Amino acid sequence: MNDSPHIFDVTVENFEAEVIAASDTTVIVLDFWADWCGPCKTLTPILEKLAVEYGGRFRLAKVDTEAQQEISSMFGIRSMPTVIALKGQKPVSAFQGAQPESTVRQFLDKVLPSVGEEKLSKAQAKLEAGDIGGAVDELKLALALTPSLDAARIMLADIAMRDNQIDAAKAYLAQCKPITQMDAEFQRVAVKIETAEQAGNSPEAAALKARIAAKGDDHEARLQLAAVLAAESQFEPAFQTLIESVQIDRNWNEQAARKKLIEYFALAKEQPELVRRFRQLLAATLN
């Protein structure tokens, strides 16, 4: 019997929670075996050894096909040993028969996220928990382990913008591969940086509001005010300012207000209802 927390026996009782649901967060490797199966006695120890060695990057779920026929039937098992990797509640890869350790390692390395990607997930969890410093540490470690991981650079740039560290944020994005620059999250952070720069170069909000009050069709003032507001995450008044500009003259400066409004929608991704409301208002304004 193996006492590792990364190895467990599958039963009907724990199947849903420990195998299906758990595969949403951790790769589950199912090992279908039987007492009478000679090759199983060769393969299972290899899987157990690697489960311990990989230290939780996956969990080994051992299925006794004689005792758990219902589960075996569910996966259509016809021969042993059969190994199936489960990720996101779906089988993603499998093999049959006893295999040497090198082949099993190759199988695992194909289905498991890289160590850098795992650090990225930990960083996201820490960020959501409010541990900004911990998230930054995880992201820097992720890049040290996987230098090509542009997602970590984008997250670091986004974090830098929380403190308005524009130069640092720009430096992180500048290190991203050209293909990454087409990514929606890259674009969102890039817009955030551009907005902060525009806000920094704009007059104070009060002065801009005074200009607009004196001359309602001062579209330049409206765009500058929207940038100041968006940089402060005051998205509703920023959206309203731009909508009014579109309503006054949708074609001003090649529809600059409409284009900027769409850019700012990406910044407010954590306020989906607000974005939905103003998308509908924009559509109604343009129709």
Question: What tens digit of pLDDT does each residue of 104-116 get?
Answer: 999 999 999 888 9
From 132, 165, 199, give the residue that closes a domain: 199
pLDDT band at 27 (very low <50, low <70, confident <90, very high): very high
Distance CA 132, CA 67 (A): 48
Q: Are residues 250 and 194 in the same domain?
A: no
Which H or E element spans position 28? strand 27-33
Ramachandran bin of 147, using left for φ above 0, alpha for ψ from -120 to 50, beta for the remaining angles: alpha
* Confidence category of residue 234, pLDDT binned at 50, 70, 90: very high
Whether 105 and 22 map to the same domain: the answer is yes
Provide the domain count of the chain.
Answer: 3
Q: Is 40 a catalytic residue?
A: yes
Crossing angle (nearest 10°) for helices 184-200 and 166-174: 150
Same domain as 96, residue 17: yes
Q: Which of 19, 22, 40, 230 is catalytic?
A: 40
Residues 13 and 82 grouped into a single domain: yes
CATH (domain of 134): 1.25.40.10
Q: Evaluate whether residue 178 is within a structural domain.
A: yes
Query: Within this chain, do residues 88 and 19 fall inside the same structural domain, yes or no?
Result: yes
Active site residue 37: yes
Which of 199, 226, 259 is where one domain is finished?
Answer: 199
Is residue 1 in some structural domain? Answer: no
Q: Are residues 192 and 219 in the same domain?
A: no
Considering the domain architecture, whether residues 94 and 19 belong to the same structural domain is answered as yes
Say yes or no: 179 and 249 in one domain.
Answer: no
Q: What tens digit of pLDDT does each residue of 156-194 get?
A: 999 999 988 999 999 999 999 999 999 999 999 999 999
Contact (CB, 8 A) for 267 and 192 = yes
pLDDT at 100: 97
Q: What is the pLDDT of residue 3?
A: 81
Average pLDDT over residues 197-218: 90
C-alpha 108 chain-centroid distance: 22
Share of residues in the chain with pLDDT > 70 (%): 99
Residue keyed to tokens 């410093």: 133
Alpha carbons 254 and 50: distance in angstroms, whole number: 60
Does residue 2 surpass a pLDDT of 70?
no
The answer to whether residue 194 is domain-embedded is yes
Whether residues 163 and 227 fall in one domain: no
- Assess if residue 2 is contained within a domain: no
| pLDDT tens per residue across span 79-96 | 999 999 999 999 999 999
Chosen domain end from 169, 199, 229: 199
**Burial class of 261 by CB neighbour count within 10 A (0 to 12, 13 to 18, 19+):** buried
Q: Residue 223: pLDDT above 60?
A: yes
- Residue 119 covered by a domain: yes
Q: Are residues 182 and 211 in the same domain?
A: no
The residue with tokens 């089988």 is: 91
Residue 138: is its pLDDT beyond 80?
Answer: yes
Q: Which is the catalytic residue, given 10, 27, 28, 37?
A: 37
Residue type, 44: T
In a domain, 141, yes or no: yes
Q: Read off the CATH number of the domain in which 61 is found.
A: 3.40.30.10
Q: Which of 203-207, 237-241, 258-262 has the lowest mean pLDDT?
A: 203-207
d(CA 252, CA 217) in angstroms, rounded, equals: 10
- Residue 235: domain span: 202-286
- Are 173 and 151 found together in one domain? yes
Rounded Cα distance between 154 and 169, Å, is: 8
